Amino acid sequence: MINSILRYGLIFVLLILLQVLLFNNIQFSGYVNPYVYLMFILVLPIEISPWLLLLTAFFTGLIMDLFTGTPGMHTSATVLAGFVRPWVLRILAPRDGYEANPDPSMQIYGFKWFFIYTLAIVLVHHTALFFLEVFRFADFMRTLLRVLLSSLFSIAFILLLEYIRKGK
């Protein structure tokens, strides 16, 4: 128990540091802003209770907002991601369920499963985040392009990190 809390705490700190120190400084033409901290929501144990997941997501977003100076923006997007995660997991459930292993990792459930899982949640999160950032539906296509490009890069980096975490 203590062991797993420490493990997820470490992952959390590493991801936040990575996000704040590295990925927040990628300013590639304003369209590409990868947000890999979302990976923390992705790798939490599958059987985690929904309220704990939501609270975790809330504080993750809150800390991101503290670093980026945008109160509420990351928080609401991340809480939304935490809210849809159980549904995504239910839809993607393999034939014999998740009982065998509680860790939603690429190593156990395969690249394809992990890719779809990441894609769904990252798209939800980024859509919410970028539309909250502009906060209007004028320039809809422009915002959508930012969502898609940033999602592409976020997913790529998350897959890479997942590979580093479990792929060896």
Binding site for another protein (CB under 8 A): 50-51, 54-55, 57-58, 61, 65, 70-73, 75-76, 79-80, 82-83, 86, 132, 135-136
What span, in angstroms and rounded, lies between the C-alpha atoms of 6 and 136? Answer: 41
Give the Cα separation of 168 and 164 in Å (integer): 7
Angle at the Cα of 26 from the Cα atoms of 73 and 68, rounded to 5 degrees: 30
State how far Cα 138 lies from the chain centre. Answer: 26
Spell 51-81 as b/e; 16+ CB within 10 A means b.
Answer: eebbebbeebbebbbeeeeeeebbbbbbbbb
